[in-house]
Amino acid sequence: MTARILITGAGGGVGTLMRSRLAAEGRLLRLLDIAELPAAADGENVELVEASVTDMAAMEAASKDVDAVIHLGGHSLEESWDKILRVNIDGTHTVLEAARRSGVRRVILASSNHAVGYLERADGEAGDYAFPRPDTYYGVSKVALEALGSLYADRYGMDVIAIRIGSCFEKPKDVRMLSTWMSPDDGARLFEACLSAPSPGFRVVWGVSDNKRGWFSLDEARALGYEPQDDSEVYAAAVLEQHGELDPSSPAARYVGGVWCGPDFDTAV
């Protein structure tokens, strides 16, 4: 079991869902966020670090003596190019470079479905390693994150796994998420697989549950040892009653990235 893990963006949506789920006997979680994190609960084996992923000195210090980094930090929605460049792209470079300088051999990167948002359902299953088709500047930053991960794996022999996360929330919030949902428990299963797979090198995997309505390859994630146990179908009736069926020609139905690919989506400038 991986004993010491640095998690960036630990106060964000996915980080908050993973905090209790990745806790384990004999494991220390070093939780880093730019915002103040909730204090450690009784018996919780965590260290809290308030820092930006763009701060090389802070990231080097935070990366000392850890076995792996899980990089969740950065903007999680569309933002101006300037913010995306600084926080998501330069921040990911800083995280990888700090890990390398501190001798960390494994980094797990939160990529996103929006790296390939313009993939179309009509073209069949979305494969592992599908070529980038970003739907936003945010999506471009996830493509850059994957490219940086590939560089650090090839050049420095680090193990780097980029997870193209679908939609990681307690429950699917709309009809599209019946396809893209990754349950928090499956998310934790996937992170554990990424932490423990022997010598993975560089990988790109989908981060989704085994959803009946899914159209994403689980092959590469399963090859790492991921065994999803959840299916959004248990929420389907309630979600459909609330939102109704999707128009098959709508962006939400057609594209991986859903409404982010639609004409009304507010791409920041």
Q: Coil, strand, or helix at residue 46?
A: strand
Residue 14 CB, nearest distance to ligand 15L (Å)?
Answer: 8
The tokens describing 61, both together, are 């210090």
CA–CA gap between residue 35 and residue 37 (Å, rounded): 6
In sign, the C-alpha dihedral spanning 43, 17, 163, 150 is negative
What radius of gyration, in Å, describes the C-alpha atoms of the chain?
A: 18
Sheet of 202-207, strand order: 46-50, 28-33, 4-8, 68-71, 106-112, 159-165, 202-207
Minimum CB distance to ligand 15L smaller for 76 or for 196: 76
Q: Between 158 and 205, name the residue whose CB sits nearer to ligand 15L.
A: 205
What does the buried/exposed string (b/e) look like for 105-121 if buried means 16 or more CB atoms within 10 Å of the residue's CB?
A: ebbbbbbbbbbbbbbee
- We find the least distance from the C-beta atom of residue 154 to ligand 15L, in angstroms, to be 25
Which residue in 225, 180, 232 sits closest to 206, CA to CA? 180
Q: Are strands 28-33 and 106-112 parallel, antiparallel or unpaired?
A: unpaired
Rounded least distance, CB 123 to ligand 15L, Å: 18
Nearer to ligand 15L, 135 or 192 (CB): 135
Binding residues vs ligand 15L (CB under 6 A): 76-77, 112-114, 167, 180
We find the least distance from the C-beta atom of residue 113 to ligand 15L, in angstroms, to be 5
- Residue type at 249 in one-letter notation: S
CB 84 within 8 A of CB 75: yes
The CA distance from 24 to 26, in Å, is 6
Q: Which is nearer to ligand 15L, 193 or 261 (CB)?
A: 261
Q: How far is the CB of 164 from ligand 15L (least distance, A)?
A: 9
Is the Cβ of residue 113 or residue 183 nearer to ligand 15L in the bound state? 113
- Catalytic-labelled residue, pool 118, 129, 138, 226: 138
Known catalytic membership, residue 137: no
Residue positions annotated with a catalytic role: 138
